[in-house]
């Protein structure tokens, strides 16, 4: 992968900070800022918008189409700044067949629901089977990744954020209840490495399943680098949820010991992935049970030996889906870069797949009068 000089990518960050001079203080560490611009016209003729959170060594792009994380730029060990998130240059890319849930908010229920159906309060609900024979990531044209959210700047000078809100009407994609949602991305003023926190909230007027996540594809060597299998993963999980041939959990919780899914000590993503290539998952595409958390709250750590970049994850969620980009097919993304097979990894914090049909799994049914909350923090640094 061609390295680009620091100044090439640093210029947008400098310009963004200059545009926010009125909010800057004399503190030793410059305060971040939020800027926005148009992000193209969607297929309905409506303009999309892009927000940029800049500061603390990170520059994060977000769009109101799907409440999507578009880009995350950070330096490597020698100071070269690159984007480490797969995505597209404008909204049309996110509406195209090349988009495989890049960076979006997925739901109402992320991951899979068996046969696209569930029973709630004695009523059978049928959903789209868009990943035959199952329902995947909220369904068809009105799943949360495809709709237009309302965005606004929130927070203060030291802790800026962008909040996206959307009300999913009763019956949208087959789900019951009017569901009011908010997704907030925060840039945190940590004293050392920089952090991005994603907070989800939802309320409903009818009982309905809710399970939200962000579906970012990471390559810490730089989006468009040829592989992610050299990345080293540590995952604080002793168990995972085995699946059938359609990737629906069987209901069991199996031990990772002795399997290619044992990342309790740091291992390259590709260290035994060939043993999984011939399975229905086509590689790693598994939900891990986060019941063995370390004292510092870190449930996962991913690092690139090539760039020195790393990320750590802390979350309130009971599960983490690890997906090694097994269905990426060489589509063209931002800046003309190619996204090859297994050139990125998703680390999706979540409740377990098909929980609405598995009473022994953590509950995903939200009741009227309750508030769904979920929070995940990604901390980024360089070795």
Q: What are the catalytic residues?
A: 215, 348
Tell me the two tokens of residue 217.
């594809």
Cα-to-chain-centroid distance, residue 134: 21
User: How far is Cα 227 from Cα 316, in angstroms, rounded to an integer?
Assistant: 30
User: How far is Cα 281 from Cα 303, in angstroms, rounded to an integer?
Assistant: 23
Residue 234 to residues 193, 261, 265, 266, 311: CA-CA distances in angstroms? 18, 11, 6, 4, 11
Q: In terms of Cα–Cα distance, which of 210, 247, 215, 217 is closest to 107? A: 210
Tell me the two tokens of residue 150.
């309302």
Q: For 30, list phi and psi in degrees, rounded to 5.
A: -60, 140
User: How far is Cα 112 from Cα 131, in angstroms, rounded to an integer?
Assistant: 8
The contacts of residue 118 (CB under 8 Å, 6+ apart) are: 124, 125, 127, 209, 356, 357
Q: What angle do CA 218, 224, 227 make, to 5 degrees?
A: 70
Q: For 211, list phi and psi in degrees, rounded to 5.
A: -155, 100
Q: For 210, list phi and psi in degrees, rounded to 5.
A: -140, 130
The DSSP output letter for 334 is: G
Residue 74 to residues 71, 159, 202, 310, 346: CA-CA distances in angstroms? 10, 18, 31, 10, 18
Residues 41, 19 contacting (CB under 8 angstroms): no
User: How far is Cα 120 from Cα 357, in angstroms, rounded to an integer?
Assistant: 10
């Amino acid at each position: 992968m061609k390295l680009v000089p620091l100044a090439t990518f640093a210029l947008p960050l400098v310009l963004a900070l200059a545009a926010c001079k009125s909010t800057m203080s004399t503190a030793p560490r410059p305060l971040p800022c939020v800027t926005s611009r148009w992000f193209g016209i969607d297929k309905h003729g409506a303009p999309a918008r892009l927000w940029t959170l800049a500061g603390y060594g990170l520059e994060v792009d977000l769009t109101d189409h799907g409440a999507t994380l578009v880009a995350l730029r950070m330096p490597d060990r020698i100071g070269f700044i690159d984007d480490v998130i797969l995505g597209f240059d404008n909204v049309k890319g996110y509406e195209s067949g090349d988009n495989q849930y890049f960076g979006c908010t997925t739901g109402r229920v992320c991951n899979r629901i068996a046969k696209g159906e569930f029973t709630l309060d004695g009523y059978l609900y049928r959903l789209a089977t868009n990943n035959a024979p199952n329902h995947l990531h909220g369904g068809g044209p009105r799943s949360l990744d495809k709709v237009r959210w309302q965005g606004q700047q929130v927070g203060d000078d030291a802790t800026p954020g962008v909040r996206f809100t959307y009300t999913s009407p009763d019956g949208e994609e087959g789900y019951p209840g009017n569901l009011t949602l908010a997704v907030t991305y925060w840039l945190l003023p940590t004293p050392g490495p920089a952090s991005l926190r994603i907070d989800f909230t939802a309320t409903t007027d009818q009982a309905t399943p809710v399970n939200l996540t962000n579906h970012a594809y990471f390559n810490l060597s730089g989006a468009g680098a040829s592989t992610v299998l050299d990345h080293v993963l540590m995952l604080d999980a002793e168990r995972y949820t085995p699946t059938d041939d359609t990737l629906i959990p069987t209901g069991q919780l199996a031990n990772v010991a002795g399997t290619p899914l044992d990342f309790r000590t740091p291992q390259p993503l590709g260290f035994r992935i060939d043993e999984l290539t011939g399975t229905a998952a086509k590689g790693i595409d598994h939900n891990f049970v986060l019941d063995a958390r370390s004292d510092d709250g870190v449930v996962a750590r991913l690092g690139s030996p090539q760039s020195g970049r790393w990320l750590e994850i802390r979350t309130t969620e009971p599960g983490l889906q690890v997906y090694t980009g097994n269905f990426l097919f060489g589509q063209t993304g931002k800046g003309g870069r190619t996204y090859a097979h297994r050139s990125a990894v998703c680390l999706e914090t979540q409740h377990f797949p098909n929980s609405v049909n598995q009473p022994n799994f953590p509950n995903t049914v939200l009741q009227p009068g309750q508030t769904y909350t979920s929070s995940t923090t990604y901390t980024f640094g360089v070795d």
